[in-house]
Copies of this chain bind each other. A is one copy, B any other.
Amino acid sequence: MRHLVRILPQEHMVYFGDTARVPYGNKSQETVLHYTRQITRFLQGKRVKAIMIACNTASAYALAEVEKDLSIPIIGVIQPGAEAASAATRNGRIGIIGTNATIGSGAYETCLHAIHPSAKIITKPCPLFVPFVEEGLTDSPMTDMVINHYLSEIKAQDIDTLLLGCTHYPMMRPAIERYMGESVACIDPAANAAYLLKQKLQDLNLLNELPDGQVPEYRFYASDNAPRLLEFAQHILPQLIQNIIKIDIEDY
């Protein structure tokens, strides 16, 4: 959303965070698809003109299916992430990290090989990165230890590009970059995903123009009223967010 606000500053937005049921990274495809369907139904009820799935796991497991039921554009982060990684690599050796579900789905590999058939792809699930970020341990000796635990094999593979295939990982980026060294470019799919959405809206003639002096409206919803989300969102999206409305996502 931070990237969307920057790249599409004239658009109103409705945000939904599934705080009651996160993390998605160890769930089955069936469950992730069921949850993603509930969320897209909720957002359609808010009459949105397009949907972005910011979660890599939901993008990998559910985008292709929920797309079938929708008449509005919906994009995920896998395709734009793969495109950005393919554009960034010089030696064709790309590392991909993400949750157990994202890596297990093979979605990034399929997508990358379609764009860059000769790419050598090395993947590694890093299930402790999300809880570390949630605990605020984004840069500490313990963070360095968990990074070494998961990334030592990938580091030894002479990659020049590392795709951060989970929304949380860019928050550990300084520590990951320090560990991987200057020769490795870390790719966050979010910026390219936001550009892709802008392009889609442009193609469909759906871009909004705000009258002079009007500011966009942002509404935030979540499935649990965990106070830490508000605090975190205010940290990430300063001045945009006053409150988060709790909704019963099971009803959708």
Where the two chains meet, the residues of A that have a C-beta atom closer than 8 Å to any C-beta of B are: 19-21, 26-28, 30-31, 127-128, 130-132, 134-135, 137, 141-142, 145-146, 149, 223-226, 228, 250
Complex: A155 Cα to B28 Cα, angstroms: 39
Q: Which residue of the partner chain B has the closest CB to A146?
A: B142
Contact A224 B28 (CB under 8 A): yes
The CA-CA distance from A118 to B211 in the complex, in Å, is 66
Q: Can you spell out 20 A-B residue pairs with CB atoms less than 8 angstroms apart?
A: A19-B27, A20-B27, A20-B31, A21-B21, A26-B134, A27-B226, A28-B225, A28-B226, A127-B131, A127-B134, A128-B131, A128-B135, A128-B137, A130-B131, A131-B131, A141-B145, A142-B142, A142-B145, A145-B145, A250-B250
Contact of A30 among B31, B145, B225 (CB under 8 A): B225
Chain B nearest Cβ from A231, distance in angstroms: 13
- Shortest CB-to-CB span from A62 to chain B, Å, is 14
Most chain B beta carbons < 10 A, residue from A141, A145, A224, A228: A224
**Which residues from chain B contact A145 at a C-beta distance below 8 Å?**
141-142, 145
Q: Is the CB of B142 within 8 A of A132?
A: no
Task: Please report the C-alpha to C-alpha distance between residue A30 and residue B20 in the assembled complex, in whole angstroms.
Answer: 10
A26 contacts which chain B residues (CB < 8 A)?
A: 134, 226, 228
Which residue on chain B has the smallest CB distance to residue A127? B135
Chain B residue nearest to A130 in the complex (CB): B131
A226→B32 CA distance, assembly (Å): 11
Q: Whose C-beta in chain B lies nearest to the C-beta of A26?
A: B226
Q: How far is the CA of A141 from the CA of B127 in the complex (A)?
A: 17
Report yes or no: B131 in contact with A224, Cβ–Cβ below 8 A.
Answer: no
The 10 A-B pairs at the shortest CB distance, nearest first, are namely A131-B131, A31-B224, A250-B250, A20-B31, A28-B225, A28-B224, A21-B21, A142-B145, A27-B224, A128-B131
User: A137 vs B128: C-alpha distance in the bound complex, in angstroms?
Assistant: 10
Task: Name the residue of chain B whose CB is nearest to the CB of A140.
Answer: B149
Residues of B within 8 A of A142 (CB): 142, 145-146, 149
Residue of B nearest to A23 (CB): B23
